[in-house]
């Protein structure tokens, strides 16, 4: 969700776009059907870990939807990123059950230790911090998700451990 100056595409200048792969996604997997645009964008993001401007422009040409409309969709839905994400994506669940068990404090701790706010990536591009609204594992709250794997009953010690190991990499 961007509302400030978009520095997002600076990094994308180095990204090599594989148009053949984009064709496969857009035309083969989704039949060029603009109703599936959101899923096409998710598939493209899966490849590049964000939505490069050049890929958006190509998508715009193929399915004949103006780039401004694709940009509108990319900035509306929380799962899309116009900035490259880090190697690891750490999502702290902020659902009610997790919140009542202190997930807010966990997010704050990571923020303070790494110097980034939720939605942002560390300068060394190792970690992106995000918050997610309830993954449905309320019984083992608070939950932290790292690269689609759920970590139950997360606490500060576990997070410190993860961040220490990350530093060592």
Question: Which residues within the stretch 87-106 sit at the binding site for other proteins (CB under 8 A)?
Answer: 94-100
Among candidates 110, 126, 129, 132, which has minimal Cα distance to 118?
A: 129
Quick note: the x/- pattern for other proteins over 46-75, rule CB under 8 A, is: xx-----x--x--------xxxxxxxxx-x
For position 133 contacting other proteins by CB under 8 A, the verdict is: yes
CA–CA distance, 167 with 169 (Å, rounded to integer) = 5
Return the number of the residue (55 or 163) whose C-beta is nearest other proteins: 55
**Binding string, 108-127, against other proteins, x = CB under 8 A?**
--------------------
Buried b (16+ CB within 10 A) or exposed e, 128-162: bbbbbeeeebbeebbbbbeeeeebeebbeeebeeb
152 touches other proteins by CB under 8 A: yes
Structure tokens at 44: 């493209």
The answer to whether residue 76 forms part of the interface with other proteins (CB under 8 A) is: yes
Distance of alpha carbon 116 from alpha carbon 111, whole angstroms = 5
Contact between 32 and 62 (Cβ < 8 Å)? yes
Question: Which residues contact other proteins (rule: CB under 8 A)?
Answer: 1-3, 5-6, 8-9, 25, 29, 34-39, 41-43, 46-47, 53, 56, 65-73, 75-80, 82, 94-100, 132-141, 143, 148, 150-152
């Amino acid at each position: 969700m961007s509302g400030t100056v978009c520095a997002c595409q600076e990094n994308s200048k180095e990204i090599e776009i594989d148009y053949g792969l984009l064709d496969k996604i857009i035309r083969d997997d989704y039949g060029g059907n603009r109703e599936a645009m959101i899923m096409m964008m998710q598939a493209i993001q899966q490849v590049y870990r964000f939505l490069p401007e050049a890929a958006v422009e190509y998508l715009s040409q193929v399915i004949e939807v103006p780039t401004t409309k694709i940009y509108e969709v990319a900035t509306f839905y929380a799962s899309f990123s116009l900035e490259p994400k880090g190697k690891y994506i750490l999502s702290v669940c902020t659902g009610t059950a997790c919140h009542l068990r202190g997930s807010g404090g966990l997010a704050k701790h990571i923020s303070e230790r790494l110097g980034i706010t939720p939605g942002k990536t560390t300068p060394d591009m190792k970690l992106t911090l995000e918050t997610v609204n309830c993954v449905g594992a309320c019984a083992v709250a608070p939950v932290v998700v790292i690269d689609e794997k759920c970590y139950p009953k997360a606490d500060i010690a576990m997070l410190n451990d993860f961040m220490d190991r990350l530093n060592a990499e």
